[in-house]
Amino acid sequence: MAVLFLLTLLQDAPCRGEAAGRIVNAMRLSQAFDLSGAAMEYAAAADAGCADAEVVVQYLRGLVAARAADAQFGSPESLQSVRRAAAALESRGKTDSNARVAHAVLRAAIPAAQHERAEMALMIDEMLRLEGVQLEAGLPGLPAITAHEAAGQFWLQNRAWDEAARAFDEAARRIGTTPHVLLGSARAAAGRADTAAACGQYAKLLTWWADRPAPPPEVAEAQAYVKQPQCAPPAARPGTKR
């Protein structure tokens, strides 16, 4: 889906050249869980003339701000940046389907940060419906973090492990087994104390990362988790009969 988004975006001449390189870097950073860095690269692409990248900039900045707001229990002050980004996307959503979906995701991010599950669930349904329309039309989901991936992350924020697991299963079906899906599925399984499933998902994430240097915190998390004795093959566990 990420490749499809890139090909769609680069059909426009202003999104080629320097802007194209910035977008490729942004997608690489987003896969490595660096949304702030990805937002900066998309902003540089927008400055280079790729107007469509402006939607992604607002979207990613809003998501980053929403994560920070979650650490502050969704206080009104902490959510101001999220609301500003959502407002900017709302005005563009009348003519831009990506902006419409991104606006819906940021609307859901607000009750997610406030841990208002009932309101969040309603917003999640709406953002998935909107992205589902795009997917059914053969269009890509949102870049960097699709609405389906964000849904699982919002449930994780609220420690709703079963709902998170179902959301990431659906994201894998609709979007594919992305790094964000692998990490989210692993965290949901760990939250449910399903160690075997968590070990398996974290191991898949490490396989994807391979031997690249400077692993981000999310990959370091996976590396630490699979070192547990429970993640070792049965024959290698202490006290296990061969």
User: Tens of pLDDT along 42-57?
Assistant: 999 999 999 889 999 9
Q: With residue 78 as reference, give the H or E element that holds it.
A: none
Tokens in use for 196?
């075997």
Closest CA to 167 of 157, 179, 153, 177: 153
For residue 103, the model assigns a pLDDT of: 98
Q: What is the residue whose two structure tokens read 């389906």?
A: 148
- Which has more confidence, 171 or 2? 171
Give one DSSP letter per residue of 90-120, joined into a string: HHHTTT-HHHHHHHHHHHHHHHHHHT-HHHH
Domain boundaries, the chain: 1-158, 161-242
112-130: pLDDT as tens digits: 999 999 999 999 999 999 9
For the segment 58-89, what is each residue's pLDDT rounded down to a tens digit?
999 999 999 999 999 899 999 999 999 999 99
d(CA 168, CA 153): 9
Of 1, 100, 14, 88, nearest in space to 50 by CA: 14
Chain position carrying tokens 């650490």: 71
Please state, in angstroms and rounded to a whole number, the distance separating the CA atoms of residues 219 and 56.
24
* Beta carbons within 10 angstroms of residue 204's beta carbon: 18
Q: How much is the pTM?
A: 0.91
Model confidence at 34: pLDDT above 80: yes
Mean pLDDT of all residues in the chain? 92
pLDDT tier at 242 (50, 70, 90 boundaries)?
very low
